[in-house]
Amino acid sequence: MKSLPTRLSSRKAQSGFTLVEIAIVLVIIGLLLGGVLKGQELIENGRVKNAANDMNGISAAYNSYLDRYRKLPGDDGPIATLTARGGSWATAGITAGTNNGVVAITAAQTFTGAAVEGTAFFQHLRASGFITGNPGDVGANALPVNAWGGRLGVTNVAVQGRPAARLLTCLGSVPGKAAAALDVQLDDGQPNNGTLRATQGANNAAPGAAAAAYNEAQSYTICRDLG
């Protein structure tokens, strides 16, 4: 026959968590998960706000450039006129536009920096001090990186149901949920209406109709009238 201390020790070894202890653990886990999800939501909301600020900032810089130089950034030139301004304008790598009153960038060049005036657009805004960055960056490196790691570019062709010769600023690789939120913040929340339009695809500024509705499982290219 087991002694009393032995029986008590055996009973303690066999005891588990009480319902109260389990409930406390579940509450803690729930709070942790809720905190993680809330944190992710705050991060995504911050990205949407940053993207909106970027688009508004480029628009403000574009109009300020027009006011100061009476020329279009990207189209401004010739190079002798630019470098004569001194300061950042003398940075190696800066290119001039054709100075014909049109910023020529095809849809395919929107996010590649392959167009001379597409690269020059951001070089000129940086050299003039209206946006930050190195005015000597060329090609895709001249294009700002947006909040989701894609590029911010410009184009002036007929995309997303708009007529040609309309300068647009575009964001690539925008997640569907963020694209919808950005559209609500800057326009009317509809991808095929208003000043902000969207097409499915990470870097899809090709001519064609805008998407009919946002799908959270898709990535989008968003373009907005500049100016």
Element spanning 225, H or E: strand 219-225
Query: How much is the pLDDT for 190?
Result: 92
Tens of pLDDT, residues 130-167: 999 999 999 999 999 999 999 999 988 777 777 777 89
Q: What's the CATH architecture for 45-225?
A: 2-Layer Sandwich (3.30)
Query: How much is the pLDDT for 15?
Result: 59
For 193, phi then psi, to 5°, come to -150, 155
Whether 222 contacts 183, CB under 8 Å: yes
Which structure tokens are listed for 26? 């579940």
E-only strand ranges, 58-185: 152-155, 168-175
Which residues of the chain, if any, have pLDDT below 70?
A: 1-16, 36-39, 206-209, 227
3-state helix, strand, coil in the chain (%, to 5): 45, 10, 45
What mean pLDDT, rounded, does the chain reach? 87
Closest CA to 107 of 211, 31, 206, 3: 206
Is pTM beyond 0.75 here?
A: yes
E-only strand ranges, 36-91: none
**Helix axis angle, 19-69 to 116-127, nearest 10°:** 90
The tally of CA atoms less than 13 A away on the side-chain side of residue 14 is 6
Whether 163 contacts 169, CB under 8 Å: no
- One-character DSSP codes across 141-152: GGSPB-TTS-BE
